[in-house]
Amino acid sequence: MEEESLISHPFSVPTTLFTSALLLLLLLLLSLLFFFFKARASSKPKAHYRLPPSPMGLPVVGHLHLLRAPIHRALHRLTLRHGPLIHVRLGSTLCVAAATADLARDLLKTHDAAFSDRPQTIAARHFAYDSAAFAFAPYGPYYRFMRRLCMLELLGSRTVDQLRPIRHAEVAALLRTLLEKSKRREPVNLSWEVIRLTNNEVTRMAASTTSSAVGGEAEEARELVKQVAELIGAFNLEDYIGFCRGWDPQGLSKRMRDVHARFDGLLERIIKGKEEARRSKKKKNSNREGGEEDDDGVVKDVLDILLDVAEDEKAEMKLSRENIKGFIMDIFTAGSDSSAASIEWALAEILNHPRVLQKLRQEIDQVVGNGRIVDETDLPNLPYLQAAVKETLRLHPPAPIIHRQATRDVTVEGYVIPAGTALFVNVWSVGRDPKYWEDPSEFRPERFVDDRAVVDMRGQHFQLIPFGSGRRGCPGMTLALQAVPVAVAALMQCFDWEVSGESCGSNSGSGREEKGTLVDMEEGIGLVSARAHPLILVPVPRLDPFPEI
């Protein structure tokens, strides 16, 4: 909240310090204005650019004062007022924001090549080992190689399917925990339980045979993932105000160095543990005949695949230690929070709509029955569940803004977007585009059930792009579309849920067709669009007898 206050109320100071603070501020503004006008003078060759409309800005800070968190809602309000394509200046950084599905198609499909890079913030560079990681790597040979490796091996359908037993085991462990707490009618912080579920799934899929990754250091990994997400999503003055660069006025760079050092140490221990396990296996198999298949039937995890590529002398690209650590950090930070947020929002929306809950349970009961727990293999036979997840991702995309950077000048709808401009495609607004969605603020899974209105989430139907599109589309989509629905289905199948007072909301939200106790739907702030408050619920076993888990 400190960064939010800094942006929203930049002149809020104690009255006893008002005079001295005002003088200091004036001196600072004079210095900044000097650099501001100097920078403008040096950029006059770009004055002919016809930029999209813009709200009124201020010297030096530009439009920073208008962007109160959550940023996607602030941008949505600005585009409603000034048009679906606008430009804003965040300090000295020129940004363009787009808010409709048609604009998303133009920018991410027609001009995909021109927006193939991501803005390099200080935090992104720090946690990406400069350009060694994958998520923020510049578009080039390394990025293309890693993306192919992701789609074919690391996060492809085959690997995701082979690692399904890990996810099943973690869902079962969560259900056992909830069953024990239900016996005491104990309220459960489901937000914490869900993030533990997704973190354990991702950690074990990344390094399933490394004891340190799935044992005592799992809690450390969860805490570090949380801090990395906070730092990458934090507003950093050094990224936007040139005068502040190198000063670290918010202390964020110091925190980055500390968190990065701790995370690097954890990753190093995980990799060394994996390398030791691989050496032991090779020694064990040294006197045996056979090919590359593991004699003990152990499926290769993501880290195994990365180390195989690093050791392959014939590989197209040689992976360094930093490449491997950067990719594992990407998986930890991107895979845990986003999936957990999607599961939470789905549970909250379904609980707030008893009609949806009833239809969902009828479908699960008919397909799965009450003698076993729903599994990922059941998902193709659960269309209403899939529709409810789609509707959740439309209203609550885990990454509500797609960030890109123009590598060359681009003309869109008669406006010029200069090279180097940061692009914000507001996925949250796109999911509410009235041209494509009737009653766009309502939670209505039925809109995806009609075969005449099939909308895919894989980046080709731009009215629904929770995983992005084009060259920078999310490579973890296949995994998310397996892990999120099955977790939601299992929690709805196995338990009734009593809403704790801590999770109560009001009946004033749009799209609420039933009255009664509702789960609060306030959004938090951060890189991932998560709930502002923990989801506190009391589990009540629904199946009797409860299936073996």
Rounded-to-integer distance, Cα 338 and Cα 528, Å: 6
Task: Write the CB contacts of 281 (distance below 8 Å, at least 6 apart in sequence).
Answer: 294
In three-state secondary structure terms, 401 is strand
In terms of residues, how long is the chain? 549
Task: Write the CB contacts of 257 (distance below 8 Å, at least 6 apart in sequence).
Answer: 126
Tokens of 285: 């198999």
Q: Which of 445, 320, 343, 432 is nearest to 390 (CA)?
A: 445
Q: Is 450 exposed, middle or buried (0-12, 13-18, 19+ CB in 10 A)?
A: exposed
Tokens of 31: 């210095």
HEC states along 494-526?
Answer: HEEEEECHHHECCCCCCCCCCCCCCECCCECCC
Helix (H) or strand (E) run with residue 96 in it: strand 93-98
Determine the Cα angle at 325 with ends 156 and 108, to 5°. 50
Q: Which of 415, 456, 463, 472 is nearest to 105 (CA)?
A: 463
Determine whether the annotation assigns residue 474 to a binding site: yes
**Which amino acid makes up residue 398?**
P
Binding-site entries for heme = 474
Binding-site entries = 474
